Amino acid sequence: PRFFPAEGLAPTDFQCFWAASKVALTDGPALVYDTGVFRAAQRALYGSEDARTCLFSYPPYSLLLFLPLSLLPYTALIVAWLAATATAYALAVRALLPGWVAVLPFLAFPATFLNAWFVQNGFLSAALLAAAAHFLAKRPVLAGI
């Protein structure tokens, strides 16, 4: 069963990372850069020949980060990724603002829903930026890292 309908759905970074992991583990890392093989893996994910696809435009060493991704089914991985990064985002914002009620507007921000729908890295990026802002005065080196 497909996770999303293929019609009208733009490819996501996460789709590309998962497909890269799947191709690298099943066919070998070099075939991640074979357009036909890589697009076929994405179309198989959506269960449609009409699915929009993306190209893997990351350097070969990035596969070390992405390799474990396809060990989980795509749907389970998306849920785990969004839960982990949204929690990190909420905790980092909470470190900046007093009380959990102050975090609610950040969770209700429209970009939050767009990030969740397209399964991007926005929660992770926002969490890292908020954490850096939190540590800036107390631990500037850590904030810079």
7/28 Cα distance (integer angstroms): 29
Dist CA 12 CA 20 (whole Å): 12
Res 129: pLDDT? 92
pLDDT in tens, 54-111: 888 889 998 998 888 888 888 888 888 889 999 998 898 888 888 888 888 887 888 8
Taking only the tens place, the pLDDT of each residue in 12-34 is 778 888 889 999 999 999 999 99
DSSP 20-64: HHHHHHHT-GGGGG-HHHHHHHHHHHHT-TT-------S-GGGHH
Residue 90 CA, distance from chain mean position: 17
48 vs 39 pLDDT, higher one:
39
Higher pLDDT, 122 or 6: 122
Q: For residue 73, which amino acid is it?
A: P
Residue 120 pLDDT class (50, 70, 90 cuts): confident
Euclidean distance between CA atoms 90 and 72, whole angstroms? 25
Is residue 77 a contact partner of residue 69, using CB atoms and an 8 Å limit? yes
